[in-house]
Amino acid sequence: IRYGISFVDVSTGEFFVSEVESEQRLLDEVFRFSPKEVLVPDAFPEEYPELAETLEAEGVSVQKGLSDYFSEENARLVLFRQFKAASYEALGLADYSCGRRSAGAALSYLLDTQKNDLSHINELHPYSDGTFCRLDGSTIRNLELFCTLRDKEKRGSLFWVLDRTKTAMGARLLKTLVERPLIKKDEIEERLDLVEAFKGKIMLREEIREYLGSIFDLERLIMKIAYRTVNPREMLSFKNSIAMVPGILSVLQDFEEEPVRTLRLSIDPLSDLCRQMGALLSDEPAATVHDGGIVREGFSTEVDELRSARTDGKKWLADLEAEERERTGIKSLKIKYNKVFGYYLEVTNANKNLVPEDYIRKQTMANAERYYTPRLKELEDKIMGAQERLVQVEYELFMHLVEDMAAQMERVQKTAKGLARLDVFCALAVVAEKYHYVRPAINEQGLIDIQGGRHPVVEKSSGGGNFVPNDTYLDEKENQISIITGPNMAGKSTYMRQCALIVLLAQMGSFVPAERADIGIVDRIFTRVGASDDLASGQSTFMVEMNEVANILRNATRHSLLILDEIGRGTGTFDGLSIAWAVLEYISDKKRMGAKTLFATHYHELTELEGILPGTKNYSILVRESGEDIVFLRKIVKGGTDKSYGIEVARLAGVPERVTKRAKEIANALYSQSSPLSIAMPLSGRKGKDARNREMERSQLSFVDTMSDDDIVRELQELDVGHITPIEAVNKLYDLHARAMNRC
């Protein structure tokens, strides 16, 4: 079964078409583009209730479309017309029989609901899985690409570090690049060349960025023009933005690099448009089309004449006022204007008796009387007529200009795209320079070799100097899986995310925070972070964890990168350890998967796997013990730890000493009576099922045997270890301890 899927951004005209093979992939794509609205066939909610529910739960509004929308005939009709094509080959949709039906439906829906001209939607981009490195929704969240897990803030995300763009178009494109890392080496190298070029020539780059800084969102403005909803002031911004383009192009002349040359050639200087707008628009046009003041003096004789009628009108009125004062002898007589009554002669009550016969009363005020005369009426008509006509003429000239610009939409869109690209790669060059990133080498042999790698966000937040760099080495043979042990807070998840982010940065075409990096292209990055770090809603955290694990095991390939943090933490120790173990076996199996994997765990028992499971290597994060305390060194080294240091971390966190001391005693008792190693054997080993079960039972029993008091044992058995908070755990421990002491 295949699913066709299309994404349209009406405001920018972007149109993507694809096809996927599973419901999960369908959801992944939807979450990646995060649309406001999803159009589905009539029968969709009945046929795929779970999908529909998930979409609704994520806040996507699901609309049912007419079934005609989704037909092959409709697709052919609307797509060929909209994109002026005569065949699906021309559109690149020959192999997208489902995709094009979704595209046809999306377009029909827009044509029916948008009432506006859709001529800006003039390009369609089919893409297949083979184009981008896929990141699913949970990876985007877990790696904190756009917002932090905890506060949903941009600050603290990868985007926060990278976004040094100067334009709205650049920021949008950057977001897309982060979401869709490339997987073709030459495309990646081309982007890296751009970053390198702009990193090398600082002065020229900064000059370009200064120009970019004055450019408004051309993509949105051209849309307003296309919809004829642009106002004169926005039109001026549009013109002023375009006016920056020739300056940028001339700076770009100084770059000899081929990709910069290609980029320069994709940008149209649009000088003719700028000239045309500059000739018509005044320097300070009003914000609405009906207030006049749009057209520059000297552009139209008619406008100039009507304007002078207005100025002359002022003089006529002043003359009439002087005349009337003379004639009536009323010194305080004034000609005034308001929007309701127009022009009138105002006479205070004290002078009312001097008013001549031919004055006609217009309005009575508390302390004055308002009049008009035939002569005043005549002047008023002349002046108001000129004003009305002026507004009308200016409006027509302006709309004419808008029409002309709308006709040039494609050129503007192309230039806007070029400028966005320029902005993004200048920004990445700024980041590379400011934070000392290096150009990664890119390989297709599946080797990930990072020396002195740093976490881009943690490094920036901690002020740079304090961050401890670390190496990573993964390949498809001896070093496929790194099992990373170390106490909580040692820096395991930071280390693993750093590796994923460096790979992602390299594949999006950015320099990377490392001393040296050689990055083997991966097809997908999967992350699974510890249950307690999740803000899961509804489902139990363990269920969420296992769902994610299931998804990863089903979808990862030999070319994927897996970041697995504390798999199995959400359940009891034995369960958790067993699940973690079995998952590792599955991943390591090259016939089944063989993905490169960083696997952090506090089950130091898993370090036994080195030597048993092919391609598995142990690493740990150094801590130094000083007396009862531990010091985090943040340095990753070869070899596993044989201790969890949980009690030491509890001490550091301020858990009362009575408790930590007692915990230590309990731990000693547990370890001496039941070696955890006794359960640490491959579940797919040579032993029969029964033998393995007995083995498990024995170790479980020996764990329980260490407690002498039945009540306490029962309580411990009933405890849902996977779902209690650290505070509850400490309280429980305290309580059990106190009762055990009482019994003694």
Which residues contact ligand ADP by CB under 6 A? 458, 466-468, 486, 488-494, 634
Under a CB-based contact definition with an 8 Å cutoff, are residues 116 and 227 in contact?
yes
> Residue with structure tokens 């990876």?
139
Cα gap 89→738, rounded to integer Å:
77
Cα gap 423→165, rounded to integer Å:
6
User: Least distance (Å) from ligand ADP to the CB of residue 145?
Assistant: 17
Residue 164 or 492 having the CB closest to ligand ADP: 492
The first and second tokens of residue 362, run together, are: 């217009």
User: Least distance (Å) from ligand ADP to the CB of residue 487?
Assistant: 7
User: Least distance (Å) from ligand ADP to the CB of residue 468?
Assistant: 4
Residue 217 or 459 having the CB closest to ligand ADP: 459
Give whole-number Cα distances, 151 to 146, 295, 541, 740, in Å.
12, 49, 19, 41
Q: Which helix (H) or strand (E) segment is 506 a member of? A: helix 492-508
Cα gap 340→468, rounded to integer Å:
74
User: Least distance (Å) from ligand ADP to the CB of residue 280?
Assistant: 57
User: Least distance (Å) from ligand ADP to the CB of residue 29?
Assistant: 30
Under a CB-based contact definition with an 8 Å cutoff, are residues 511 and 437 in contact?
yes
User: Least distance (Å) from ligand ADP to the CB of residue 489?
Assistant: 5
Residue 439 or 492 having the CB closest to ligand ADP: 492
Residue 129 or 515 having the CB closest to ligand ADP: 515
Rg (CA), the chain: 36
Q: Is 487 left (phi over 0), alpha (psi -120 to 50) or beta?
A: beta
Cα gap 297→294, rounded to integer Å:
10
Cα gap 622→631, rounded to integer Å:
9
User: Least distance (Å) from ligand ADP to the CB of residue 566?
Assistant: 8
Residue 384 or 622 having the CB closest to ligand ADP: 622
Give the residue nearest to ligand ADP (CB).
491
Residue 529 or 663 having the CB closest to ligand ADP: 529
SS3 for 253-267 is CCCCCHHHHHHHHCC
The first and second tokens of residue 208, run together, are: 């370009």
The first and second tokens of residue 134, run together, are: 């896929």
The first and second tokens of residue 65, run together, are: 């479309």
User: Least distance (Å) from ligand ADP to the CB of residue 174?
Assistant: 25
Cα gap 432→302, rounded to integer Å:
56
User: Least distance (Å) from ligand ADP to the CB of residue 501?
Assistant: 13
Residue 209 or 497 having the CB closest to ligand ADP: 497
Give one DSSP letter per residue of 524-590, joined into a string: EEEEE--GGG----SS-HHHHHHHHHHHHHHH--TT-EEEEESTTTTS-HHHHHHHHHHHHHHHH-T
Residue 20 or 580 having the CB closest to ligand ADP: 580
Residue 194 or 458 having the CB closest to ligand ADP: 458
Torsion sign, CA atoms 108, 110, 115, 117: negative
User: Least distance (Å) from ligand ADP to the CB of residue 461?
Assistant: 7
Residue 324 or 566 having the CB closest to ligand ADP: 566
